[in-house]
Chain A
Amino acid sequence: KQEVTQIPAALSVPEGENLVLNCSFTDSAIYNLQWFRQDPGKGLTSLLLIQSSQREQTSGRLNASLDKSSGRSTLYIAASQPGDSATYLCAVRPGTGGFKTIFGAGTRLFVKA
């Protein structure tokens, strides 16, 4: 059964710092992995989608990597800003055993001005 874990659960950093959020999954048979951002009381905003055949994706200050063999993905945020404060969730689409996307519990990020 696929399980997705995100570490740390919460993170507080000063503005300008580069940071890494971690996501691990137990079954390497995945179709894709997606990173989302969620502001309090709002929906999920898709940040990056990495297909199983890809190693990384970049969008602006964000870079996500995928290592299927080790069951890990990282989201790198460069030069963090207070506006980056949100909860970041990773989600895995399983390659076998059903259609249900599996979400991690998220990392709550606070960037101090």
Chain B
Amino acid sequence: DTEVTQTPKHLVMGMTNKKSLKCEQHMGHRAMYWYKQKAKKPPELMFVYSYEKLSINESVPSRFSPECPNSSLLNLHLHALQPEDSALYLCASSPILRTGELFFGEGSRLTVL
């Protein structure tokens, strides 16, 4: 099983809402990532977890809050977002942090009204 599963596929939220994006993998990977992608641009790294600990935070605003409850799950909690945060949010995993193949999920399309 080489799947990374993301839910929901689509999310529409107002600027005062609180919502969460979820990501799951069962490949035994110990590194998990959140990326943000705008149209016609490459993915931009947001957060990296290695062995369930936050390893990299790419200066992301605090309205995005990541969480890694266990080695298979990764959440991204969203609060007080801005319309410019509308994007495709991609989760990825790899066997370990520095090396190995990256596997991506199908993404969650977020629209902030």
Contact = CB atoms under 8 A, between A and B. Distances in A.
Interface of A: 31-32, 34, 36, 41-46, 49, 89, 91, 93, 99-101, 103-106
Interface residues of B, number: 25
Contacts of A34: 101-102
Interface string B57-97: 01000000000000000000000000000001010100001
Given A99-B48, A100-B45, A101-B45, A41 B88 contact: yes
A46 B106 contact: no
B56 A99 contact: yes
Given A99-B48, A99-B55, A100-B56, A44 B101 contact: no
Contacts, number: 51
B103 A93 contact: no
Given A46-B103, A99-B56, A93 B98 contact: yes
A42 B42 contact: no
B102 A91 contact: yes
Interface of B: 4, 6, 41-43, 45, 48, 55-56, 58, 88, 90, 92, 97-107, 109
Contact of B42 (A43, A93, A104): A104
25 contacts: A31-B99, A32-B100, A34-B101, A42-B106, A42-B107, A43-B4, A43-B6, A43-B104, A43-B105, A44-B92, A44-B102, A45-B104, A46-B103, A89-B42, A93-B98, A93-B99, A99-B55, A99-B56, A99-B97, A99-B98, A100-B45, A100-B56, A101-B45, A103-B42, A106-B42
